[in-house]
Each structure stands twice: as C-alpha cells, then as structure tokens.
Amino acid sequence: MIASTNAISLIKDSESVSLVPYNCPAGHATIGYGHLLHRRPVTSDDERITWSLEHADNVLKLDITVIERELNKKIKVPVNQNQFDAIVSWTFNLGIGRLVEGKCSWLRELNRGNYSAVPELLKRWNKATMNGVLTELPGLTKRRAEEAKLFAKPYPEEIV
C-alpha cells in the first residue's frame, strides 16, 4: 500500500512547514514537515540551512516512502486505505523505530486482527519527554485523535 492524499494532508496539517531548522517540542533539530535533522537542539551550523518549499515537499515524499515500505513489512493483516493512512501519519510522527510488535501495542493488536482496539491504542502516544519529564502535548493529543478517527472510518469500498 501507499499513502493517499489524506495521509499527506494529515501530516502537513499536523506538522506545518518550516524552511529553516527549529527545535521540535522534544528539543530535536527539525526542518520541513517535521523532518528530523538530528536528536539534539539546533546548532549554529544548522542555522545556515534553508530549504525551499519544493525541497520540503520532496523530502516529505521520501520520508513517507520509507514509512510505507516498513509498514508494508510489519503489518500482517489486511488494512483499508484509511487505516493505512492513519498509521502512516502516526509512524511519520514517532518514527519507524517504534514499530516493534512486542513494544508497539497498536501494531501487536492490529496483527492479531483486533482492529477495534487500534484507535484507542494510537491515542496513548500523545506525550514527549520534556526536561526529563513525560508530558502530554495538546498538539499530539489532537493529532492522535484525528489518526484514531481516520483509522476507525470505514473506507468507501467497504460500505455494503
């Protein structure tokens, strides 16, 4: 499967775009549509970087391609386009390193065929470590709710 425009819109709306590096809420250098430069704050070298909007869009497409490939390996059950789009957005935000079935509750339940458990499990991932403290972030809570809603939304082909 590949991400649809729904996934890309959800990512773009959640991330917004910055053509210069900034520190994400977790304090990591980020640019474009949430593209991680490195896992530490923006440095003086980073401050010299400027992207065009076209470059940010191209990097987003490349990042999504990597996620699609990984999800297509990790998901062992059929999913519809809405379900796939929701978890593409989740994975874009949290990283493919989180897709470990023994540790990722929604992936484990999805692969067991427990589709109904996934939306609530997606919502649990709404925190970031800030100053050493795990903190709920309103923006992540909103994003997880949108992903959960999209995952649970029937895809038109499924309607009988």
Per-residue pLDDT reduced to its tens digit, 71-94? 999 999 999 999 999 999 999 998
pTM of structure: 0.89
136 catalytic? Reply is no
Active-site position among 15, 101, 120, 136: 15
Three-class secondary structure of residue 136 per DSSP: strand
Smallest CA-to-CA distance from 92 within 63, 51, 120 is with: 63
Residue 94 CB coordination number (10 Å): 14
**The listed CATH number (1.10.10.60, 1.10.530.40, 3.50.40.10, 1.10.3720.10) that belongs to domain 5-16+53-155:** 1.10.530.40
68 catalytic? Reply is no
User: How much is the pLDDT for 160?
Assistant: 44
Please list the alpha-helical segments (H only) found in the chain: 5-15, 53-74, 81-94, 105-111, 118-123, 138-152
Task: Give the tens place of pLDDT for each residue, 24-56.
Answer: 887 899 999 999 999 999 999 999 999 999 999
